[in-house]
Structure 1
Amino acid sequence: MLLLLAVSACALRAPPRHAISMSAGTPIRRRQLGTSDLVVSDVCLGTMTWGKQNTLEEGVQQLDCAFDEYGLNFLDTAEMYPVPTEAETQGKTDETIGAWLKKRGRRDDVVLASKICGASERITWVRGDGRGTRVTEADIVEGVEGSLRRLGTDYIDLLQIHWPDRYVPLFGSGTYDASQEREAVPFVEQLQALKKLVDQGKVRHIGVSNETPYGVCRFIQEHERDASLPRICSIQNSYSLLVRSDFESGLTETCAQTDVGLLAYSPLAGGILSGKYSGSKAPAGARLNLFPGFMDRYSQSLAKEAVVEYERVAAAYDVTPAQLALKWCYSRPHVASTIIGATSMDQLRENIDAFFLDDLPEGCLDAVADVYSRYRDPSKTS
């Protein structure tokens, strides 16, 4: 009760910026990613706004800052980026990265991750013949060849399947419904196609994204049946103060037992945990205002209520809402790297600086746990 009163009392005052404990030149930590030989920074630079909300020049500036000033070595893109995806801009993100790699002149100190599309009848502009996307051998090869051309490189360090070929409930759409099952490319066939690219040296390691415990186990099982097939080393799933129960209720154990590293994306839940949508008027350039309906799962009333509660916790412990959300994610033991994105240099610096904050005190973590106990799945749409 005393803790709740303290949180409420601090809720109305503006949270000051917490002092950063980073000393000059202190590098971001790095760790091995799963069973691979990739050693990645604990913070990964996300890129999905480049080519839509950010220009090529702005993307290059962000890369220079993240890699040269902060010591990141890890970035993540996708063939469908920027998002929201559309025919007119698809591939622009890769082109930005390609321009930076050419300017930089050093490829071997960059861990470059990309993703190929999963199954979609709607995205008809990514493949050359105008069909939708799948995870067949033809799709995988075409997707990788296109990405390599745009990126101006000979290889991708980590190639991920962006979402499954089979039916799974995605992006907060609710619980699994067996009646929605459809024909899908078998797991072994996906791995056989990926093996060809690995054997050719065009892909070094593979991972999955937006996956389930079942999917992770099936990919691992196929590798164990035939060790010549590549082994997934990572899973890139949404993970934040608002989206955590799906991972923690099954994937935490699955990934620990199989040594698959979590690449946590959307740690600020589309920006809603940054605090910029609080109050009567959010910035006109904010993503959820620019693209009505995009990530609308975070507009659910329960999600908004949960955000208010987390903002109260942040205020009580003298950090900004973004710092609370990011430091919490950075410090989770099962997170191999946290993918952050920004549309401005100020946002980029705040997001990376949060890594260097002092550890959140036990009382703060207790307050976070209390909010979570009351708002367990606030972004679920059904």
Structure 2
Amino acid sequence: MKTIPLGQSGIMVPEFCLGSMTFGTQTSEADAHTQIDMSIAAGVNFVDVAEMYPVNPISAETQGRSEEIIGSWIAKNRREDLIVATKHSGAGLKHIRDGAPITAASVPEVIAGSLKRLQTDVIDLYQLHWPNRGSYMFRQNWTYDPSGQNKADTLANMAEVLEALQREVEKGTIRAFGLSNESAWGTSQWLRIADEVGGPRVASIQNEYSLLCRMFDTDLAELSVNEDVALLAFSPLATGLLTGKYQNGAVPEGSRKSVGSANLGGRVSERVFDAVDAYLQIAQKHGLDPVHMAMAFTVQRPFGCSSIFGATTVAQLDHILAGRDLRLSDEVLGEINDAHRAHPMPY
């Protein structure tokens, strides 16, 4: 399938990326390995994970299991067949380093732990999962207040962390550096400081992006284009809402909504199902599968994007991969924009 540059890292990644956050909870090790094999066969040789995974639920007992499952696949296959991205957790998770923030001292420790679990010598893309100063992602945009931030401390921490990351680049443990749940200001500062201290340049930013969540479309889109920072879009199917499976009060067995996330991380609102209906109608009118339409939308934006999808089952993965080469017409894209104007920010 089509590939895009991962920023200025020199790494080319496919437009689709296999998410692994259910590996070890909803998805067994055997099924996870099958998913990796199927994805590679379809040209999706890019997998995203994090030290805090799996989720649904998040727990101290399973923390790191998703990396271990990918590692057991790597141990039996050719490492060069897979591009691996993982993440350093930020402050707040009590069972991970007692909730400590990201620091220069934590970087080598966390990378070493991920390398061990992944059974590899190198991580292709190393990301900071969320910024120490907080984020407006995950519905926090409604009450976001940056006035308590300490700019001097933030910038000093960024410089120290970049220097630590550069040492890992020189050791060969990571190839590229990325952010997650970041803002335009934050990303611009990481870029500026990297130029000053010689640290690795931001290659990508992993933020939520879908038909229902388009906060990336303004300031971050401009930054992405002008600074060569690719978007890794997570939740392109809006945790399953855009499949239509939750319409009319339905809660399918084994779905994310059925295993303890009734409001889908704050995405269920009074307006969201009307918005989903609007997109389902567009898909039906044009004879498109709504899953394929939602995924294609993310990778046809005017900025480089690799879209991270999750599949609890092999059947779901097969369905998603079937639409990997779809391109939407200008007519469909125009109707999508009309629906977005009618149903902006439904959650």
In the alignment, which residue of structure 1 is the partner of 2:204?
Answer: 234
Which of the residues 338, 354, 369 maps onto 2:307? Answer: 338
8 Å CA contact 1:172, 1:297 repeated in 2: yes
Which of the residues 240, 248, 263 maps onto 1:271? Answer: 240
Which of the residues 184, 190, 196 maps onto 1:219? Answer: 190
Distance 2:265 2:176 in 1: 33
- Say if 2:167 is the partner of 1:167: no
1:179-208 CA-to-partner distances (Å, cap 9, x unmatched) read 443664621112112112112111111010
8 Å CA contact 1:117, 1:133 repeated in 2: no
Q: Which runs of 5+ in 1 are unaligned?
A: 1-27
Count matched residues: 342
1:133-156 CA-to-partner distances (Å, cap 9, x unmatched) read 311122222211111111111110
Report deviation, 1:294: 5.8
> What pairs with 1:207-356 in structure 2 (closer than 5 Å)?
207-226=178-197, 228-244=198-214, 246-293=215-262, 295-356=264-325
Distance 2:44 2:265 in 1: 31
In the alignment, which residue of structure 1 is the partner of 2:24?
Answer: 51
SS of structure 2 residue aligned to 1:45: strand
Tell me: CA distance 1:373–1:167, structure 2 relative to 1, closer, same or farther (3 Å).
Answer: same
In the alignment, which residue of structure 2 is the partner of 1:5?
Answer: none
8 Å CA contact 1:330, 1:355 repeated in 2: no
Distance 1:75 1:178 in 2: 33
In the alignment, which residue of structure 2 is the partner of 1:79?
Answer: 51
In the alignment, which residue of structure 2 is the partner of 1:193?
Answer: 164
In the alignment, which residue of structure 1 is the partner of 2:333?
Answer: 365
Distance 1:30 1:159 in 2: 19
Larger radius of gyration: 1
SS of structure 2 residue aligned to 1:174: helix
> What pairs with 1:81-100 in structure 2 (closer than 5 Å)?
81-83=53-55, 84-100=57-73
Which of the residues 97, 100, 103 maps onto 1:133? Answer: 100
> What pairs with 1:143-158 in structure 2 (closer than 5 Å)?
143-158=110-125
Report deviation, 1:114: 0.5
Distance 2:3 2:225 in 1: 18
Task: With the length of structure 1 as denominator, give the TM-score of the two structures.
Answer: 0.86
8 Å CA contact 2:84, 2:124 repeated in 1: yes
The root-mean-square deviation of aligned C-alpha atoms, in Å, is: 1.6
Distance 2:226 2:254 in 1: 42
> What pairs with 1:8-19 in structure 2 (closer than 5 Å)?
none
8 Å CA contact 2:191, 2:202 repeated in 1: yes
- Say if 2:12 is the partner of 1:39: yes
Report deviation, 1:63: 0.5
Distance 1:215 1:293 in 2: 32
One-letter amino acid matched to 2:174: V
Q: Which runs of 5+ in 2 are unaligned?
A: none
One-letter amino acid matched to 1:260: V
Distance 1:256 1:274 in 2: 29
Distance 1:297 1:374 in 2: 21
Report deviation, 1:326: 1.1
Distance 1:109 1:305 in 2: 42
Distance 1:361 1:205 in 2: 34
Identity between Structure 1 and Structure 2 (%)? 37
8 Å CA contact 2:21, 2:54 repeated in 1: yes
Task: With the length of structure 2 as denominator, give the TM-score of the two structures.
Answer: 0.94
SS of structure 2 residue aligned to 1:101: helix
